[in-house]
Amino acid sequence: MRFIDAGESHGKALAGIIEGLPSGLRIDEEFINRELDRRRSGYGRGGRMKIESDHAEILSGVRDGYTLGSPLAFVIENADFPNWEGIMGAGACPDKASRAVTAVRPGHADYPGAVKYGFTDARNVLERASARETAARVAAGAIAKLFLRELGITVGSHVYQIGSVTSSKGQYSADKLSGYSDRSPVRCMNPAAAKEMMKAIDEAKANGDTLGGKVEVVISGMPVGIGSFVHYDRKLDYALMGAIGGVQSVKSVGIGLGEDYAGLPGREAHDEMYLSDGRITRKTNNAGGIEGGVSNGEDIVIRATLKPIPTVMKGLNTVDIATGASVKSEPERSDVCAVPAGGVVLEAVAAMAIAEKITETLGGDTMDEVKERMDKKRASEWKLR
């Protein structure tokens, strides 16, 4: 299974293609668009969320509500494009100089991207580097979630830190997270901590600043044996960490205890195994559901740190690449805190990575074949006979 997308932040549309979906997967377009709505929500989002009301239009690969096995293509129109056509259109752009970006912003792709591709206007970089692109990944991730749901696998997330305010982690299944985290404006499971997080966001906004945070993604219902130990690039954690780390603003990723492993001796770090009702069980899940690059049947737990958005309203010291002058960076329309929405994006890319590894491990051209092979995979788990 492979996914590719295209489009700029203020261009006409975002487009995506998913290749490798089996035939016979029911596509619920309402679910896909609800996932897009989840991405738009969250305390601390910027003004653009009031403009865009994202809707994924499926162009190919689906007939009568079911996948055909051919590439699935979709498009998400950018509602703000009419205001930007003279700046970001594919044809002549008579107004492009009015929105040129030469005061490159620290923390963004502006400067290295302009150098790499030979641009004098960093708008050519920021329009594609923008997190607006994640709308396409959320739509694709929603389709991956539909695929996983057919196999008894669910994906959820919650925010456990914004700024200096923290909450509990490592206590929730994906099913519980799916039912409860979205009830909070910051997608935090602890109501008291959520109030403090919103207060911190308000203070940052008043100061013209931004905040980052931490998100935990949980995948429940995984069988033993997805992924592989035989090559580095077939490891499940390799796929997940790359997918999560490739999301805008993510600066660190951990599986299970992650960086907390560093402070533990081996006798406390690893998940001891016991026999219960003829099956192997564990009392802890420090490994986060993956051992040696292979799923071990426990919940997969991924934790990610998202940096504060670098578009700071008061500006940061930088250099104008057109003049060489020392200036303040210019703000683009942006969020104060995108961590709650970031969790939705991380769910999507994790779902895509898991779906890809399942199809790689199990194969199958039809959903019936995939389900049959998943049942055999689950039945193959060790048990006392």
Which pLDDT belongs to residue 278? 85
**Cβ neighbour number for residue 127 with a 10 Å cutoff:** 21
158 beta partners: 216
* Distance from C-alpha of 320 to C-alpha of 332, rounded to nearest angstrom: 16
Which pLDDT belongs to residue 50? 56
* Selection from 5, 33, 54 nearest residue 143 by Cα: 33
Contact 329, 203 (CB under 8 A): no
* Distance from C-alpha of 12 to C-alpha of 237, rounded to nearest angstrom: 36
Which pLDDT belongs to residue 48? 52
Q: Hunting for tokens 């199958």 — which residue is that? A: 364
Record the pTM. 0.94
Sign of the Cα pseudo-torsion (257, 356, 379, 222, in order): positive
Contact 187, 259 (CB under 8 A): no
Helix (H, G, I), strand (E, B) or coil at 28: coil
Domain ranges, ordered by start, for the chain: 2-379
Contact 186, 43 (CB under 8 A): yes
Give the residues of the chain that fall short of pLDDT 50. none
Task: Find the helix or strand (DSSP H, E) in which 218 lies.
Answer: strand 213-220
Domain 2-379 has CATH 3.60.150.10: yes
Which pLDDT belongs to residue 382? 78
Contact 335, 45 (CB under 8 A): yes
* Distance from C-alpha of 86 to C-alpha of 15, rounded to nearest angstrom: 21
Which pLDDT belongs to residue 186? 97
Cα dist from 95 to 100, 127, 150, 162, 163, whole Å: 9, 16, 49, 39, 38
Which pLDDT belongs to residue 330? 83
Which pLDDT belongs to residue 137? 98
Contact 52, 78 (CB under 8 A): yes
Which pLDDT belongs to residue 384? 62
Which pLDDT belongs to residue 74? 99
Which pLDDT belongs to residue 292? 98
Cα dist from 75 to 32, 60, 140, 153, 188, whole Å: 12, 10, 11, 27, 31
Which pLDDT belongs to residue 346? 98
